[in-house]
A and B are shown apart, each in its own frame.
Chain A
Amino acid sequence: MNSLISRYRAWLLVPCLALTSLSLAGCWDRTEVNDLALVTAAGIDRAGENAVELTVQVFVPRAGGGSQLGQPGSAAGDERSVVRSAKGKTIAEAMAKLQERFPRRIFWGHAEVFIIGEKVARTGIREYVDFFLRFSQPREHADIFVCKGEAKKVLELIPPLERHQAEVLRELSESKVSLHVTLKDLAEMLVGDAGDAALPYLTTLPPPVGKGQQHTIAYIAGTAVFRDDRMIGTLNQQKTRGLMWLRDEIKFSVVTLSPEEADGFISFYLLRSRTKWLPRIEGDRWSMTVEITTEDDVVENTTSLDLLDPEVTRALEAELEREIVRRIELTLKQVQQEMKVDIVGFAEIFHRRYPREWRKVQDRWDEKFPEVEVRVEVDAKIFPHAPGSERAARLLPVALSAHARPDRSRRGDVPLDGRRSRPLSHLV
């Protein structure tokens, strides 16, 4: 018997191996892509007292470029995503109800945009942040926005350029022209020393004339300011820039000056900038010096000034510095004196440098923060250059792409007749 087994040992192994391959497939958690509804963005709104409305935007997969199903004359025939919503006492409940309205299983792994309606934001967002961190499918790097009006309305927009609204917002926040806050950042702000938070604030761009209300996008038009987890107000885009200077997040900026010495304007394009914070405590006086060093390029000069003259450059630098300081102080005035919320992150900076003093005021930071004396010092360097120089050549594509955006979207409005161009290409 034993010898028999050892003789056919190899053959006995074959069915065993075949059986193990069954377990490799992971049958229990087998999920086919075509059984999933991929959520690309989600929105949270208030629905009456003590209820939330959860809206999801689901990607509609489609065999690329094939012939469209015949839906004559329907503008919505081009829909690439489905937007549906459900109400519930909690998000989890709304989620369960939402599932009832989808033939496929809702999958959150690709949800990279969360939009919070302003009404919800004003009543507090902590529980939602907590939920999305706990729930294992959404990513910690999902972008978070607050929108004017209802989040549902924003998700229902049909952007002319991108595939869906989630992509629009993702691209916008990647471009760093405004705040970029991920789920992780928001959670960190809420558990941080100050506990205040700032989120990008969305507004809907008015649709072009002759197009439906939905044929537009929402864009970041400022900052929603939170005390603890409640939204208390907004900053406009200009003040948001000031905030970004303060937070060392500025990546893209154009500053235009009208120099005292001559008529016309000079525009500066930000090359790089670095912000340093120097906290100081003397007795009961807390002060903060914000040191900004920035390098800027002149991109447009409609004055008669000769930028190659070092005297002129120095004078312009001084003016640029004053202008940046003015912008930042405008922001500080609103944030520190009027709203009294520490969204700049001064609490952490003081905590790092003066841990002992910090502990004494940490419970009444709300009162202390407006008393902090802030000095802004800017050291600007500008690079004037003759047209055609290397730097100008490097900048050109940037400037072009910045202008190209509105252009392209306008072109998208003119219907391109695909059918007529096809026979033409045949001839060629």
Chain B
Amino acid sequence: MPYNGKITPVQMAFLLHPTIVATALLLVPAMTERHAGRDMWLSPLWALMAGFATLLTAWALHKRFPDDTPIEYSERLVGKTAGKIIGVLFIFFYWHGSGSLLREYGEFVSGTFLMETPTEVIMGGMLIIAAYAVRGGIEVLGRCAQIMVPVVVVLFMTLILLVSRNLDPYKLLPMLEFGILPSLKGSIVPQSWFSEIIAAAFLLPSLTDRSKGLRWGVITLLFVAVILSLTNLTVLMLFGELAGRLVYPVMSAARYIEIADFLEHLEAIVMAIWVFGTFIKIVVFYFLLVQCTARVIGLSDWRPIVLPVGLLILISGIWTAPNLQQLVHALGTSIVFELLLIQLGIPLLLLAVALIRGKKGAPATAK
């Protein structure tokens, strides 16, 4: 029982969904449009492949080591030293990851709503609540997600429904004007987001019903792909080629809603969606960072390091980029490779080692 607690497979799905979607709605549509143009709605569907690859790898490894997280089984697979190195890689990855997503959140809030509040204060406020939730343990996180995510999804669907009367399907034409390549190129950034499903590898051991883990993982991925594709479709049918020139197209779409002279200025809904969604995402990353750190160092209790780790996340959030433009640039270039390498590359490597070393050969080398 790795985290002193259990969550249901459905709760896992609720945790994983915002882990991918929350920030993907923020900057990714515009980044996809720049490559894929009018075919941007196809890109999340291609990117789904990367998600499946990651999930299946995580599941295959989980089948071999049902009680272990990647930190433990990497040590058992490739030996103590190499295993620790992989563990440290995960630590740095989740540190950088949670930092830059905290920053994305801070930049969004201070850039669109609280212009004069320092970003650090916005990030710090979020972090304090996240720390409180993380200290509560995995069951608290599961329940948080169970309560918040349905609200987020309903709000999001309402938004799309309200904007739907301004949509023009003709803006999707001509489809595949330059063949399939642009939409594939556009899918690279979403692919890196989809690979975040690797968080499942850390959650699977603490499921109440492990047999349903894969099923709910798949459902999560499909649902994520549908939401992202729907978002891109909406943005495209509303703004056409303008979509790539807006920083937060979904936000602009929400601002565009105007029904009967009184249902307008609805960006507060977008705000609610992001605060909820990003909260879950930050909490998941934060929790995994704490767990990885505690396991690699070999602590008997992980709770005391929650607050210090939080401080480090804040620092990483400040360090990650000097401004929003550079953050967006990094998210579209180097961070893509970082995400795919750590979240898909390392698990694939581990699986390859496991396959070479024999079917379930690992327990023998564990001692």
Contact = CB atoms under 8 A, between A and B. Distances in A.
B353 interface: no
Given A28-B114, A139-B255, A355 B240 contact: no
B125 to A, nearest CB: 6
Interface in A18-77: 23, 26, 28-29
Contact of A141 (B116, B117, B258): B258
Nearest to B118: A28
A352 interface: yes
Contacts of A184: 238-239, 242, 252, 256
Contacts of A140: 252, 255-256
A209 to B, nearest CB: 34
Interface stretch (A186-194, A198-206, A336-344, A365-373): A186-194
Contacts of B118: 28
A207 interface: no
A349 B350 CA distance: 52
A355 B112 contact: no
Contact of B115 (A29, A187, A192, A355): A29
Interface stretch (B6-14, B169-177, B206-214, B226-234): B169-177
Contacts of A353: 173-174
A187 B242 CA distance: 7
A109 interface: yes
A136 interface: yes
A26 B174 contact: no
Interface in B116-174: 116-118, 121, 125, 170, 173-174
Nearest to A356: B177
A30 B238 CA distance: 33
B241 interface: yes
B92 interface: no
B174 A191 contact: no
A394 B240 CA distance: 38
B242 A191 contact: yes
Interface string A165-208: 00000000000000000001001100110000000000000000
Contacts of A348: 170
A376 B114 CA distance: 53
A122 interface: no
B256 A141 contact: yes
A381 interface: no
Contacts of B241: 188, 191-192
B170 A352 contact: yes
Given A352-B174, A355-B177, A192 B112 contact: no
B114 A351 contact: no
B252 A351 contact: no
B159 to A, nearest CB: 15
Interface string A109-141: 100000000000000000000000100100111
Contacts of B112: 136
B265 A109 contact: yes
Nearest to A137: B115
A108 to B, nearest CB: 12
B117 A26 contact: yes
B245 interface: yes
B276 to A, nearest CB: 16
A47 B111 CA distance: 32
A98 B216 CA distance: 57
Contacts of B121: 28
A355 B174 contact: yes
Contacts of A28: 114, 116-118, 121
Nearest to A109: B265
Interface in B252-271: 252, 255-256, 258, 265
Contacts of A133: 245-246
Contacts of A23: 125
B258 to A, nearest CB: 5
Interface string A127-168: 000000100100111000000000000000000000000000
A351 B174 contact: yes
B3 interface: no
Nearest to B178: A355
Contacts of A355: 174, 177
A184 B258 CA distance: 13
Contacts of A187: 242, 245
A29 B239 contact: no
A197 B301 CA distance: 66
B116 A188 contact: no
Contacts of A26: 114, 117
A221 to B, nearest CB: 25
Nearest to A193: B241
A184 B243 CA distance: 10
B181 to A, nearest CB: 15
Indicate the member of B116, B125, B240, B241 with the most A CB atoms within 10 Å.
B240
Given A29-B115, A140-B256, A192 B240 contact: yes
Given A109-B265, A140-B255, A352-B174, A29 B114 contact: yes
A188 B240 contact: yes
A219 to B, nearest CB: 20
B113 interface: yes
A355 B252 CA distance: 29
Nearest to B246: A133
22 contacts: A28-B118, A29-B115, A29-B116, A29-B117, A133-B245, A136-B111, A140-B252, A141-B258, A184-B239, A184-B252, A187-B245, A188-B239, A188-B240, A191-B241, A191-B242, A191-B245, A192-B240, A192-B241, A348-B170, A351-B174, A352-B170, A355-B177
Given A28-B116, A139-B255, A184-B239, 10 more contacts: A23-B125, A29-B115, A29-B117, A109-B265, A133-B245, A139-B256, A140-B252, A184-B238, A191-B245, A351-B174
Interface of A: 23, 26, 28-29, 109, 133, 136, 139-141, 184, 187-188, 191-192, 348, 351-353, 355
5 pairs of A and B residues whose beta carbons are closest in the complex: A28-B117, A352-B173, A355-B174, A29-B114, A355-B177
